[in-house]
Amino acid sequence: MDKIELIAPCHFGLEAVLKREIQALGYEISSTEDGRVSFYGDLSAVCRANIFLRTAERVLLKAGEFKAETFDELFEKTREIPWENYIPENGKFWVAKAASVKSKLFSPSDIQSIMKKAIVRRLQSSYHKEWFEEDGASYPLRVFLKKDMVTVGIDTSGISLHKRGYREVSGKAPITETLAAALIMLTPWRGDRILVDPFCGSGTFPIEAAMMAADIAPGMNRSFTAEDWTNLLPKKMWYEAVDEAESRIKANIETDIQGYDIDGDVIRIARRNAREAGVDHLIHFQERNVRDLRHSGKYGFIITNPPYGERLEDKKDLPQLYRTFGESFAGLDTWSAYMITSYEDAQRYFGRKADKNRKIYNGMLKTYFYQFLGPKPPKKNNSRMDGC
């Protein structure tokens, strides 16, 4: 298998960010669709994509794609896929998820059952066995049907990639690590610039930013389903990918990344999470109200996920909270602010219309990524004068 195609699902609306990440790893994009990006690579791309991609939800090995309008077609075309190239004789396999959009076949349970039977039939023929113990490595399948086109992927990740391994305990209304990373990448922020999150909760924005600044790969401290696929991926490939990740870490950088929250218990959780991620020395967390938001530096960034009234009784406090946030930001006259929220009146009470506004789905929740842009910092003069 010299060349394979991989599928990386992501948050709707953030495909361009993931596409840039994949290209930066050196891989060729094969297609971009709503909520996923596909690309070509060799088998080592499975390891590198899982370890390095910050904005992908998981990495799927594409096993096949075909059109099916009836369950008979689904069965026969699933059986035509050379499953013996992927699943060993003792492999455990099942259709973990089936999703259907604008297709004649729409029952997930029926799709899952029929495809499982078709794979069994294929493997019975290939391995000349009637019964499989399925006591070996796991090969969970994920299937997408869109306009009767069936795309079949084998999940190499297992637990979603937003589970970096540093956040066992979350604060209230957490934002996922993959979404936080993608939103930071939508801004011009870089590791040598100031970043403050005045509603940091369990610390996801500051931690993801610090990991980017130090070039710490997000998948370094977790495991993946495909690590057990020794029939496809030698352990050496995983060791090489981890070695590459370790060689890229910038150990001696300095940053100005800060996280504030009014809840002291949540700040303690954020500090613990930062320690687990190995970036606690790069972040300053503090119990602080948003009305006390201030900084002596210029041209900084606020990137945050403020409360948006998940519970009905909280909604009455939102106008004053956003008003206070806007007033504090107004005092930072050279700064830029970026906030993700589902609160429809955010701009009204913030006191300023966003320069840019991007609709993003956080799970099933429609949110907006408001961008309030400050002036660009003056360019640094790198020229040197003789005699100085």
pLDDT tens for 195-218 read 999 999 999 999 999 999 999 999
User: No. of H helices and E strands in the chain?
Assistant: 10, 14
pLDDT tens for 21-64 read 999 999 999 999 999 999 999 999 999 999 999 999 999 999 99
Rounded Cα–Cα distance for residues 133 and 89 (Å): 8
Rounded Cα–Cα distance for residues 368 and 346 (Å): 9
pLDDT tens for 213-268 read 999 999 998 999 999 999 999 999 999 999 999 999 999 999 999 999 999 999 99
Q: What pLDDT band is residue 364 in, cutting at 50, 70 and 90?
A: confident
pLDDT at 124 over 60: yes
- What string of DSSP letters covers 1-58? --SEEEEEE--TT-HHHHHHHHHHTT-EEEEEETTEEEEEE-THHHHHHHHH-SS-S-
Q: What pLDDT band is residue 383 in, cutting at 50, 70 and 90?
A: very low
Tokens of 216: 């710490």
Tokens of 16: 């361009």
Please say whether the structural domain 4-155 has been given the CATH code 3.20.20.70.
no
Superfamily of domain 177-218+232-372: Vaccinia Virus protein VP39 (3.40.50.150)
pLDDT tens for 304-358 read 999 987 655 578 899 999 999 999 999 999 999 999 999 999 999 999 999 999 9
Rounded Cα–Cα distance for residues 140 and 144 (Å): 14
Segments making up each domain of the chain, as ranges: 4-155, 177-218+232-372
- What string of DSSP letters covers 119-136? HHHHHHHHHT-S-----S
Phi-psi group of 283: left, alpha or beta (phi > 0 → left; psi -120 to 50 → alpha; rest → beta)? beta
User: Which pLDDT does position 167 carry in this prediction?
Assistant: 84
Q: What pLDDT band is residue 388 in, cutting at 50, 70 and 90?
A: very low
**pTM assigned to the model:** 0.94
